[in-house]
Amino acid sequence: MTEPRRALITGIAGQDGSYLAELLLSKGYEVHGIIRRSSSFTTGRIDHLYQEPHQEHSKLFVHFGDLADGQCLTNLVQEIQPDEIYNLAAQSHVRISFDMPLYTHDITGAGALRILEAARQLNKTKPVRVYQASSSEMFGDVLETPQTEATPFRPCSPYACAKVFAFHQTVNYREAYGLFACNGILFNHESPRRGEQFVTRKITRAAGRIREGLQEKLYLGNLEAKRDWGYAKEYVEAMWLMLQHDDPNDFVIATGETHSIREFLDIAFESVGLNWHDYVEIDPQYYRPTEVNLLLGDASKAKDILGWEPQMTFRSLAQLMAESDLQLAVNERLVRENSNTLT
Ligand code: NAP
Ligand code: GDD
């Protein structure tokens, strides 16, 4: 019997990590993930996949580690001996990166370099393939539209600067050491598992809670920004495809459509039978010192070389998230009502 392929995912408990783990397990991989120690549980997105390691057919193994600790990462890579490494961990919030620039640099930027270095050392004994989670945010104050792999970067936040650093390190490890390393330049991608501090999920969560009488208002920042929003579940397939190709390369992954926050508000609130103008207020604390006004990707290269194409429409994505969050809000209301009856 042949050994299953082995993957290591940093950030496995995040939105993308959870979908990628599902995808790789469905393909028969043995999946190892890194989570960082926290005072409370953070594995809600992967609990449904997790089986105790002692169970006979368990294929998912979770390890404690941190992108700040290079020795720990090197030890884990040596111990696990992965065939593929997906570096998805990051301080991934753009607005918060302005408050924590050095931390963001250390985790989102230098953390990627620590992973590359661990992979380079393993590569000497066993060929390993590395995926780096690069970002459309690197295009920043965009120099051309739509953005492709050839568009120059013009980063506009500590987060974007850290991702640009990681991007170039990934290319350099490929060229200098022959490491099979790819950058996926992914445009915004969302899902019912999206973190609640990102604008789409913040909106759908609020729409459901307002509909159920659990919240009165929704405070937002800049409603004029436009993003190329896709579906996270489809985007992790692109990550996997990049590592299956014969040659390492960098790819833009996007839908080719751009929409404003206002358009997302329209669909999300309409999906729960409300008009957002009655509930949304602007709070300047959500503005950024420098804003990325427009992102629009051209994923032709991924289509031509990897055969990857997005399927989910913008409207269906917003509806999917709104419906999922309405159900969460209904459950939350029922729990509250039950606890009121019991006390
Ligand atoms: P996410 O939900 O914020 O997940 C990030 C994960 O990284 C979390 O599980 C987090 O752990 C972990 N993490 C943070 N700091 C860490 C550290 N010091 N050591 C180890 N793990 C750490 O992000 P996502 O949306 O899944 O995105 C995945 C990756 O793609 C990120 O690198 C992001 O920057 C990049 N990206 C995302 C998008 C997008 O639209 N979603 C687009 C382009 C690129 P905790 O749960 O403990 O916080
Ligand atoms: N988070 C947030 N909260 N954003 C708001 C709000 C608010 O209350 N109000 C308006 N916005 C605007 C932001 O100013 C930004 O223009 C847009 O909504 C999207 O913000 P986010 O959802 O936080 O995403 P992002 O585009 O900044 O970053 C995401 O996408 C990047 C790819 O381009 C993150 O997932 C990054 O990790 C990722 O690299």
Which tens digit of pLDDT belongs to each residue from 40-91?
Answer: 999 999 999 976 554 455 699 999 999 999 999 999 999 999 999 999 999 9
Q: How confident is the model at residue 1 (pLDDT cuts 50, 70, 90)?
A: low
Q: For residue 339, what pLDDT is reported? A: 85
Does the pLDDT value for residue 343 go beyond 80? no
d(CA 13, CA 88): 10
Residue 335: its pLDDT value, please? 95
Phi, then psi, of 297 in degrees rounded to 5 = -100, 155
pTM of the full predicted structure? 0.97
Ligand nearest to the CA of 107: 1
Protein residue with least CA distance to atom 5, ligand 2: 199
Condensed to tens digits (0 to 9), the pLDDT of residues 125-152 reads 889 999 999 999 999 999 999 999 999 9
- Amino acid present at 237: E
pLDDT of residue 57: 58
pLDDT at 39: 93
Q: What is the pLDDT of residue 51?
A: 60
> What is the bridge-based pairing of β-strands 259-260 and 226-227?
antiparallel
Answer yes or no: is the C-beta of 188 below 6 A from any ligand 1 atom: yes
Amino acid 76: pLDDT: 98
The answer to whether the CB of 109 falls within 8 A of the CB of 161 is yes
Q: Which protein residues are within 6 Å of ligand 2, measured from CB?
A: 92, 94-95, 135-137, 187-188, 197-199, 202, 220-222, 225, 227, 261, 286, 288, 291, 295
Judge whether 324 and 332 are in contact, CB under 8 Å: no
Residues carrying an active site annotation = 135, 137, 159
Per-residue pLDDT, 53: 52
If one counts every other C-beta atom within 10 angstroms of the C-beta of residue 279, the result is 18
Ordered by where they begin, the domains of the chain are: 6-194+228-257+295-311 (3.40.50.720)
| CB of 253 closer than 6 angstroms to any ligand 1 atom | no
333: CA distance to ligand 2 center in Å?
28
Ligand 2 center–CA 46 separation, angstroms: 24
The mean per-residue pLDDT over the stretch 305-326 comes to 98
Task: Give the ligand 1 atom nearest the CA of 89.
Answer: 7
Residue 126 confidence (pLDDT): 87
Least confident of 58-62, 173-177, 304-308: 58-62
Query: 65 by DSSP, 3-state: which?
Result: coil
Residue type, 112: A
- pLDDT the model gives residue 2: 80
pLDDT tens-digit profile of 225-248?
Answer: 999 999 999 999 999 999 999 999
Burial pattern 173-203, b for ≥16 Cβ within 10 A else e, equals bbeeeebbbbbbbbbbbbbbbbeeebbbbbb
Q: Which residues on neighbouring strands pair with residue 230, listed in sequence order?
A: 189
Helix ranges (DSSP H) in 130-260: 158-177, 199-211, 232-244
Whole-number pLDDT of residue 95:
98
Distance in Å, CA 261 to ligand 2 centroid: 10
* Arithmetic mean of pLDDT over the chain: 96
